[in-house]
Structure formats: C-alpha cells, structure tokens
C-alpha cells in the first residue's frame, strides 16, 4: 500500500482488501467485475469485448480509457503492469492465481507516480504446502463460453512455486464478438536468511483473435442489442495480440531496522488492431527498475520511519498505421492498404521519492511524502514523404502528500490526507491526431489532481463486522477528455477544470455462523467547472462515463451437504455518455446467483458449481463510449445466462 509493509490502521489511505479466493466459488475470472465490483468508489464497466477489455474507473480516473486501463496503477506480485506512459493492458493479469487484491482509491502519485488516480495490487497464492499439488478446472457457459484451466504448485524447503494456465474461447453475446485467449502465469518465491525473500514472475498471454462489435446508437441498442454494425464486420475490426513479461523482486533486511526492496521487469508486446478507418500495428518493448530503502528510528517515545526510493523505466514503441481495405471475399482478416503512419515512440521515466512517518503518543500517526517525476516523450517519424513530424515532449511533476491517522479506540481508526496525482497522455493518445498527421497531438498535456479526504474504518463483535467510510473532494486541472472521429478513432483534449466529490461506504458482516453479507454504496458528483470545446460551453455538466450512485450487496451461506449458495446484486444509477449531458446510459440492476458443492475423497477434492448471471434478464449497457461519433455511445450487456464448472485437484 505504501511501498513497505505496515498495518492498515497506520495507513492514511482509503484501502480495501479483497479475498480473491472467493472467485473460485463460481467465477470464470474473465472480468474484474467479479473481483472488485463490490469495492466502493470503483466502477468496472464490463464491455463483454475482449478486444478492448474492462474499463476500470476509480473515482473517475480511468473513465476516458478507449481500451485497457488508464489513470490506475496496476501491479502483480510487485511487478508493474502499468507502463511508463501510464497505460496498462490487463490481458496478462491472472485472476486465477490471485489470493489477495488491494485497491487504493484516490490519488497516490507521491508513492506510485504517473497514472495513480487509484492503485490495484494483486498477489498470487496460496502456495501449497505439499511438494506437488495439481488441479484442473473447466467452466462452460452461454454463448459458447468454454474455459479450461490447469493449476499446480508446491513447496520444497525454502522454495515455493505456483503455476496457472488458462485457455478460454467464446462466441460472444453480440454478433462479431467471438474471441480466444491463452494465458499462463508462473510465480516462484524463496525465503532468504534473515527474513528476506526473492520472488520471480513470468507471465505470457496470446489473443489469437478478438472481434470488436463496436458501440451502438440508442435505438439500435434498445431494439437489436446483439447486432454489430455491418461496416465493422466488413472491416474486420478486432485485435490480435500477445505479450510476455518477466520480473524479479526481492526483500533484503539490512540489520534489525533497515530494509531494502527492489524489483526489475521487462516485457515485449505485439498488436494488430483493425479499426474502421485504419489498421494499427504496434511492436513494444519496455522495462524498468524500482527500489525502496526504508528504516526505523525511535528516540524517546517517538517512533519514526523513513523511506527513500527511485523508480525508472523505458518504453519503446514502433507504431505503423495502414489503410483498412476490409475483409476480402472468403477471407477472415482485413487486408492492409497504403502505409499512413510509421514512427518510433520512446518514453523515458525517472522518479526519486521520499516518505516520512511518525507514531506519536495517543495512537496518532503523521506522514508526509514527495515524489519528483520526469518524463521524456519522443517520436521519430519514419514516413518522411509528408514532412518530418518528429517531436520531443518533456512532462514533469512534483507530487506531495500528507496524512494523519488517529485510533481513539481499539476498534476505530480514522485518517485524513492531502493527496496528489499526475497523469500524462499515453503514447497512443498522443499519437492519435484529429488532423490525421504523424508525430504527437499538438497542445495535449498531462492532467493534475489534488484531493482532500477523510475516512474511518473499524471492526466490531470480535471481527464479525468490518466497515469503512470515506469522503473526498478532488480538483482536476487539464483533465484528459476523449472524443471520437468518423472512423471510430478516439482523440483527446484537455478540459479546463473538474471537481470530483464523493462518499463511500462498505461493510462486511457474519451475522450467523457460516454466513457472510457484504454491502457497499458510492455517491459521486463529478462536475466540469470550466470546459469549452467546439464552440460549446460544458461548465456545470457532469463528467461522462461515471455513475452518480452505485450499490452492491451479496449474501453467502454454507448449507448442509457442503453446499454454498451466494446471491449478488448491483445497482447502477443513470449516467451521462457525452460532455453535453444530452445522452445517458439508463440505470440498471443486475442479480447473479451461484450454487456450489465441495466433495472430498482421501487426498482428492472436487468442486462443482452452477450459476445464473443477470437472473432478472435486465436490458442495460455494460459500458458507454464517452463522446462517441454519431451518437453510438452504448455497449449492450448480455441478458440472463447460465454457466457451470467443475474442479478436481489435491
């Protein structure tokens, strides 16, 4: 949470910890909705479209994402999935290996740097105690969903390891929405003398194909939600991609009161992405190092902790854009036309940071931090027939933070803080120019966020009731706002100023033995204070893509016969789809149910489940495309659907 381990009561941040093992009770793990959909302040817009992936929104950060994740730092086993330019692809985020997920809501750039409007940290596990513990799992569902998983792990002395591989295929609920995905994740850790640890991570994924049905206008979404625009089918829109990433991290105690944490990582990625107007090809290599040195001191009754660190990263992209000639008769993929753009893009990042914490008498804690981020974006134009569009952009920021915690009672902890976030445009966003030219979009710069917030959390009844509450007010300057052109390509501009306010509540309770209830509620108001574009004044309008209210409830019970029954419901308020607030996604409520059973026989165990998603057959949009061209804002979600699965292992 704060780059070092410390108790949650001492952290002046709104942090929610999710037990990801619940996913094994009946979730295929295709969408983040099943993992963090019940966290207040977090909105997972499930597009049911693997070519684009989920849109992860934390207090408004990430709502602009055309694909992947923006504005939210994502880390897996200490290795960043978010690249130096601030974008993250979740194709190699393996929820099947996850044991614990931490969600930090709100700005945390003083700790994590660029695109830290929120933080998602995933830890793999559990590591089996036996030398070898294999298992296999199959999930099948409506619309051709078939997912096969293999899992193995073990412990031998100080070495533990965990492997998880998945192959998933679906026809898709909508026309032109079929996809296939391969994924594998290997994590190994070894204990070191003195209490240290070294951990290695290797993950790969391949998307042989994922078709993109696109978004629809309101009338089509209501009357024919399963269709795709014929033009998109003719153009073969979708994605073929692959990525491999490796990393190593270590924790090294240096004496009794000093500790060094470090990590290094690298990745390679390729993308072939036909959109209506163009075919985008991308080859990417990236890597980086992260280091943190921390120590403790304690003169008198004062307990001090200091942390200093340095993060550095490099990202190298080769981007090519060609004309899209469409799918030829009898073909399966779009034919490439004339070369329209050919350029090399580089991002170089370096950031030192420091953090100080003090524990005072009376269960009071004080903390302050500062991070200095420097980014060099450069583009080298390789298509010189239309002139040289090479360019260099420098983007820098100082990100301070300050916080206070107070625990007046053993069951109550409170905090208040000042936080900041700094977010650059990504290379994809900089390269998408509305005038069709090469190089970087002129005038597009970073956005900055400052937040003031306070919160409380606690536990009652011997831990059977846990709760948290947070309220915040954030000021965003030069907010990055998307808009679409005629070819469905998304461009970006900076809005003047945006104010975000919110209230978040969450509770977990075990009212009876073998039962659990979870509740959350979010109230948000995100308003443009100053924003004009294309001759229109949007001051006073709501930020598109962010619901004003959301509620989540789930109840689970262990029944006789080793049965487990769970029901989950979520309600999402209506929210705007454009800056003018003339188009809205309708409010909706969705109920999912799961029934599972566990059977043990000697060393073997098995699990089986059946489930129904969208039990009430609600018609709704799982996501919107903010400011889409031609009023095509809506991405419809499936109606009632059935799934089932079985697992066998030791």
609 pLDDT more than 90: yes
Query: Given this model, what pLDDT does residue 171 score?
Result: 96
Tokens standing for residue 316: 């190298």
Query: Given this model, what pLDDT does residue 483 score?
Result: 83
Query: Given this model, what pLDDT does residue 493 score?
Result: 87
pLDDT tens-place string over residues 491-503: 888 888 999 999 9
Query: Given this model, what pLDDT does residue 1 score?
Result: 59
- Residue closest to 206 by CA, chosen among 161, 266, 270, 147: 270
589 pLDDT more than 90: yes
Judged by DSSP in three states, 423 sits in strand
Helices (H), 104-163: 109-112
Tokens standing for residue 23: 């996913």
State the Rg of the chain over Cα.
24
Q: Which residue has the tokens 């990055």?
A: 480
What would the mean pLDDT of 73-79 be, rounded to a whole number? 91
d(CA 112, CA 74): 10
Residue 299 confidence class, pLDDT cut points 50, 70, 90: low
- Residue closest to 545 by CA, chosen among 447, 429, 624, 634: 624
Percent of the chain with pLDDT over 90: 71
Question: Distance from CA of residue 201 to its chain's centroid?
Answer: 19
Q: Where are the domains of the chain?
A: 8-649
d(CA 142, CA 578): 32
What would the mean pLDDT of 378-395 be, rounded to a whole number? 88
8 Å CB contact between 65 and 72: no
First to last CA, the chain: 33
Output DSSP code: residue 92: G
The fourth-level CATH superfamily of domain 8-649 is TonB-dependent receptor, beta-barrel domain (2.40.170.20)
- Residue closest to 505 by CA, chosen among 522, 488, 528, 493: 522
Residues 6 or more apart in contact with residue 534 via CB below 8 angstroms: none
24 pLDDT more than 70: no
- Residue closest to 216 by CA, chosen among 178, 176, 180: 176
Residue 389 confidence class, pLDDT cut points 50, 70, 90: confident
- Residue closest to 83 by CA, chosen among 243, 280, 314: 314
8 Å CB contact between 40 and 522: yes
Residue 301 confidence class, pLDDT cut points 50, 70, 90: low
In this structure, the strands spanning 98-105 and 159-170 are unpaired
Question: Distance from CA of residue 356 to its chain's centroid?
Answer: 28
Task: Count Cβ neighbours within 10 Å for each residue of 549-588 and write b for 16 or more, e otherwise.
Answer: bbbbbbbbeeeeeeebebbbbbbbbebbbbbebebbbbeb
What would the mean pLDDT of 254-260 be, rounded to a whole number? 89
pLDDT tens-place string over residues 165-203: 999 999 999 999 999 999 999 999 999 988 899 999 999
What would the mean pLDDT of 31-42 be, rounded to a whole number? 89
Cis peptide leading into 589, omega within 30 of 0?
no
d(CA 432, CA 240): 20
90 pLDDT more than 90: no
Torsion of CA 639, 642, 648, 650, to 10 degrees: 50
Tokens standing for residue 295: 């120590």
d(CA 189, CA 150): 20
Residue 163 confidence class, pLDDT cut points 50, 70, 90: very high
What would the mean pLDDT of 78-91 be, rounded to a whole number? 89
Task: For Cα atoms 117, 120, 125, give the angle at the middle one, nearest 5 degrees.
Answer: 170
Query: Given this model, what pLDDT does residue 30 score?
Result: 78
Query: Given this model, what pLDDT does residue 92 score?
Result: 79
Query: Given this model, what pLDDT does residue 294 score?
Result: 94
8 Å CB contact between 641 and 592: no
Q: How far is CA 383 from CA 321, 389, 391, in A?
A: 11, 9, 14
Residues 6 or more apart in contact with residue 385 via CB below 8 angstroms: none
Tokens standing for residue 280: 């985008």
Judged by DSSP in three states, 404 sits in strand
Query: Given this model, what pLDDT does residue 209 score?
Result: 92
2 pLDDT more than 70: no
Tokens standing for residue 257: 């009161």
pLDDT tens-place string over residues 413-441: 999 999 999 899 999 888 888 777 778 88
Phi, psi of 310 (to 5 degrees): -145, 130
pLDDT tens-place string over residues 318-377: 999 999 999 998 888 999 999 999 999 999 999 999 999 999 988 999 999 999 999 999
What would the mean pLDDT of 580-599 be, rounded to a whole number? 95
- Residue closest to 566 by CA, chosen among 550, 577, 553: 553
37 pLDDT more than 80: yes
Q: Give me the residues paired with residue 645 across strands.
A: 139, 609
504 pLDDT more than 70: yes
d(CA 338, CA 520): 52
Tokens standing for residue 194: 């003195």
pTM across the whole model: 0.92
Q: Quick one: CA dihedral 645, 640, 221, 524, positive or negative? A: negative
Judged by DSSP in three states, 115 sits in coil
26 in the Ramachandran plot: left (φ > 0), alpha (ψ -120 to 50) or beta? left
Q: Which of 125-129, 501-505, 566-570 has the lowest mean pLDDT?
A: 125-129
In whole numbers, what is the pLDDT of the chain averaged over residues?
91
Query: Given this model, what pLDDT does residue 300 score?
Result: 56
pLDDT tens-place string over residues 142-153: 999 999 999 999
């Amino acid at each position: 949470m704060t780059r070092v381990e410390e108790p949650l009561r001492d952290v002046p941040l709104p942090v929610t910890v999710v037990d990801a093992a619940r996913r094994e009770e009946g979730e295929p793990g295709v969408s983040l909705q099943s993992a963090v959909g019940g966290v207040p302040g977090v909105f997972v817009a499930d597009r049911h479209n693997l070519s684009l992936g989920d849109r992860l929104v934390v207090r408004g950060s990430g709502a602009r994402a055309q694909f992947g994740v923006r504005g939210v730092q994502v880390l897996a086993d200490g290795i960043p999935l978010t690249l130096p330019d601030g974008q993250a692809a979740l194709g190699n985020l393996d929820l099947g290996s996850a044991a614990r997920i931490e969600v930090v809501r709100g700005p945390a750039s003083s700790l994590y740097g660029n695109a830290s409007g929120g933080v998602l940290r995933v830890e793999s596990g559990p590591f089996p105690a036996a030398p070898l513990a294999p298992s296999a799992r199959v999930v099948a569902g409506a619309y051709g969903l078939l997912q096969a998983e293999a899992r193995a792990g073990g412990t031998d002395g100080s070495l533990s390891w965990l492997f998880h591989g998945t192959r998933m295929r679906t026809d898709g609920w909508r026309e032109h929405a079929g996809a296939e995905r391969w994924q594998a994740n290997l994590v190994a850790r070894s204990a070191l003398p003195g209490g240290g640890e070294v951990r290695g991570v290797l993950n790969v994924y391949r998307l042989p194909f994922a078709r993109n049905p696109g978004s629809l206008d309101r009338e089509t979404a209501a009357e024919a939600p399963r269709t795709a625009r014929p033009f998109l089918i003719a153009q073969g829109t979708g994605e073929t991609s692959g990525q491999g990433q490796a990393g190593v991290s270590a924790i090294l105690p240096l004496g009794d009161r000093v500790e060094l944490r470090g990590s290094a990582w690298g990745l390679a990625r390729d993308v072939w992405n036909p959109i209506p107007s163009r075919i985008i090809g991308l080859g990417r290599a990236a890597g980086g190092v992260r280091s943190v040195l921390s120590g403790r001191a304690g003169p008198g009754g004062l307990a001090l902790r200091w942390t200093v660190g340095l993060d550095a990263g490099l990202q190298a992209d080769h981007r090519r854009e060609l004309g899209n000639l469409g799918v030829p008769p009898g073909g399966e993929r779009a034919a490439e036309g004339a070369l329209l753009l050919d350029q090399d893009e580089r991002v170089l990042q370096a950031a030192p940071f420091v953090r100080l914490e003090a524990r005072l008498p009376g269960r009071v804690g004080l903390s302050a931090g500062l991070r200095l981020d420097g980014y060099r974006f450069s583009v080298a134009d390789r298509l010189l027939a239309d002139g040289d569009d090479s360019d260099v952009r420098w983007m820098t920021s100082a990100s301070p933070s300050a916080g206070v915690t107070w625990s007046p009672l053993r069951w109550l902890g409170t905090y208040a803080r000042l936080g900041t976030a700094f977010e650059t445009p990504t290379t994809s966003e900089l390269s998408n120019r509305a005038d069709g030219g090469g190089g970087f979009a002129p005038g597009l710069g970073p956005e900055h966020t400052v937040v003031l917030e306070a919160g409380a959390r606690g536990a009652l009844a011997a831990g059977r009731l846990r709760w948290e509450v947070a309220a915040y007010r954030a000021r965003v300057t030069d907010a990055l706002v998307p808009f679409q052109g005629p070819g469905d390509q998304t461009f970006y501009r900076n809005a003047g100023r945006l104010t975000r306010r919110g209230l978040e509540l969450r509770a977990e309770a075990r009212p009876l033995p073998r039962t659990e209830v979870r509740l959350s509620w979010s109230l948000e108001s995100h308003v443009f204070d100053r924003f004009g574009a294309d001759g229109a004044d949007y001051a006073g309008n709501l930020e598109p893509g962010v619901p004003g209210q959301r509620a989540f409830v789930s109840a689970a019970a262990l029944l006789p016969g080793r049965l487990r029954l769970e029901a989950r419901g979520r309600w999402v308020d209506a929210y705007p789809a454009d800056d003018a607030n003339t188009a809205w996604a309708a409010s909706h409520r969705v109920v999912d149910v799961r029934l599972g059973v566990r059977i043990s026989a000697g060393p073997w165990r098995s699990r089986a489940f059946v489930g129904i998603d969208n039990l009430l057959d609600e018609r709704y949009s799982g996501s919107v495309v903010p400011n889409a061209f031609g009023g095509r804002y809506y991405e419809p979600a499936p109606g009632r659907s059935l799934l089932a699965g079985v697992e066998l292992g030791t």
